[in-house]
Structure 1
Amino acid sequence: MTNAFELWPAIDLKDGTCVRLLRGDMDKATAFNTDPADQAMRFKKMGFDRLHVVDLNGAFAGDSANGDAVRAILAATDMPVQLGGGIRTRAQIDAWLDAGLSRVILGTAALRDPDLVKTAAKAFENQIVVGIDARDGRVAVEGWAETSDMKAVELAKQFEGCGVAALIVTDISRDGTKTGINVDFTAEMADAVSIPVIASGGLARVEDISALREAKGRRAIAGTILGRALYDGDIDPADAIKAAGAE
């Protein structure tokens, strides 16, 4: 799928179970599968070729909390897996990449310790991703519990030219709502930097994938995360893959 629009089906982990949250609220979690490895294999059978995994407990705790589930996913599938949530030190980055992850996502660390991101990106080519989660255009951290004064666009620009593989850009107000992706915000972020930008938050239908692919701007949007709408059956996997331009 060379240069195809990337589709990343999401496995969000809470207490070892695959869940979806509403706007990042841990008290508003819907469980979909108690076996994360099984869910990973299901996504592969649907035709997807990569996985986006988030350790929700870890994001709040500041340390990996669903490690066993992540390792089970890695053991069950040969798909590239990217993981975020609670990864905030170089030792954690090293350990997870050694464990078989393709990419590590740094969110809170990107705001709190940008030098960590830059040094890791130089050490691990194409394996460090920055997660930028925004509430009203400003960066939210600590599992989205805190909103900073930093504008999402300004944070993105800090990592220009340091070797970051991608930015995952989430509009928190739409996450888990199936109200449609924020194409304009994502396109603004994509235009601000030369780093590939992946959209997240609110994907509702196959048409959203087409809208992201066709977004007008200086730079194309690189891909999107598929969450609630995929689990609920609102998006047919084959249609999504076709809309992404993949064979």
Structure 2
Amino acid sequence: MSDIARPRYIPVLLLDRHRRLVKTVAFGERTYIGDPFNVIRLFNEKEVDELCILDIDAGRDGYEIDHGFVAELAGECFMPLAYGGGLRDVRQCAPLARNGVEKFVVGAGATDAALIDALASVYGSSSVVACVDHRDGRAFVDGGQHDTGLSPLDLAQAAVAAGAGEVILQSIERDGARTGMDLAMIAKVADEIPVPLIALGGAGEVAHLAESIEAGAAAGASGSTFSFIGRLRAVLVTYPEDLTDSAGGGL
């Protein structure tokens, strides 16, 4: 597990095929959150230090990255930006990098050692983030549709060995539930990989993010914590001040 100075707390925004921001439940039911540009501007005002945007339909639908649209998003973003969705070839990343994307998130690409190696060779391992989605002790790709035949730990270790500098570990079952994260799996994987682990899936409040850090994650990430308020899941894009305070003035 990597030793870092302080934890990070990362809002994760999900884009659908219509360029809308949505929040999913167990990778299924979707709630409309808002226009991505407006939400990014709100996070700018909150002085969020890092943002992750994932196109959740690109991999399943197979459409190409709209580099013009991503450039517009990055142009509105005053913090480091990670982007994922449909990344299958290192050549796709050159225009992303030119337009301000600092980290590349690979989902199905996490199973492609050659792709990860190529990305790390060009952009450095610190720019390559492997997203490991898991359910029932198995790692899945393509929005949870295809079983890789690997455990989450096995896939995370393979991605790191290929050159990934960070791993997002996402629980499919807990996605959108807002009841807490899979702390046992977080602890298990974080203890066995030499790079930072970003915990995602299940957080609904600040305490859940803090618990993921205590379990061994280097960063706690969430969509729901920064998008909903209250039992009825009213949409309210926010970034609680106590996250900034707990990180010593930043993420």
CA distance in 2, matches of 1:188, 1:136: 14
Q: Quote how far apart the aligned CAs of 1:21 are.
A: 0.9
CA distance in 1, matches of 2:67, 2:209: 31
* Count of aligned positions: 238
CA distance in 1, matches of 2:62, 2:195: 26
CA distance in 1, matches of 2:66, 2:202: 24
CA distance in 1, matches of 2:99, 2:85: 16
Match in the other structure for 2:218: 222
Say whether the 8 Å CA contact 1:181–1:204 is kept in structure 2.
Answer: no
Question: What amino acid does structure 1 have at the position aligned with 2:229?
Answer: G
SS in 2 for 1:185: helix
CA distance in 2, matches of 1:171, 1:232: 19
Match in the other structure for 2:147: 147
CA deviation digits over 1:112-164, x for unaligned, max 9?
A: x2111122112211211111111112111112221221111111111335542
Q: Does 1:59 align with 2:55?
A: no
Match in the other structure for 1:45: 45
Scaled by the length of structure 1, the TM-score of the pair is 0.89
CA distance in 2, matches of 1:180, 1:10: 16
Say whether the 8 Å CA contact 2:48–2:239 is kept in structure 1.
Answer: no
CA deviation digits over 1:77-131, x for unaligned, max 9?
A: 22111011111111112232222201000110121x2111122112211211111
Match in the other structure for 2:235: none
Scaled by the length of structure 2, the TM-score of the pair is 0.87
CA distance in 2, matches of 1:147, 1:162: 20
Say whether the 8 Å CA contact 1:133–1:139 is kept in structure 2.
Answer: yes
Match in the other structure for 2:115: 116
Structure 2 counterpart of 1:239, from 231, 234, 242: 242
CA distance in 2, matches of 1:109, 1:221: 22
Say whether the 8 Å CA contact 2:199–2:220 is kept in structure 1.
Answer: yes
Comparing 166-175 with 9-18, greater Cα deviation is found at 9-18
* Alignment map for 1:79-94 (pairs within 5 Å): 79-94=79-94
CA distance in 1, matches of 2:164, 2:33: 32
Say whether the 8 Å CA contact 1:55–1:86 is kept in structure 2.
Answer: yes
Q: Does 1:197 align with 2:197?
A: yes
Match in the other structure for 1:10: 12
CA distance in 2, matches of 1:245, 1:64: 40
Q: Quote how far apart the aligned CAs of 1:67 are.
A: 4.6
Question: What amino acid does structure 2 have at the position aligned with 1:197?
Answer: L
Match in the other structure for 2:31: 30
Q: Identity of aligned pairs, percent? A: 25
Match in the other structure for 1:210: 210
**Alpha carbon RMSD of aligned pairs, Å?**
2.0
Say whether the 8 Å CA contact 1:209–1:244 is kept in structure 2.
Answer: no
Unaligned runs of 5+ in 1: none
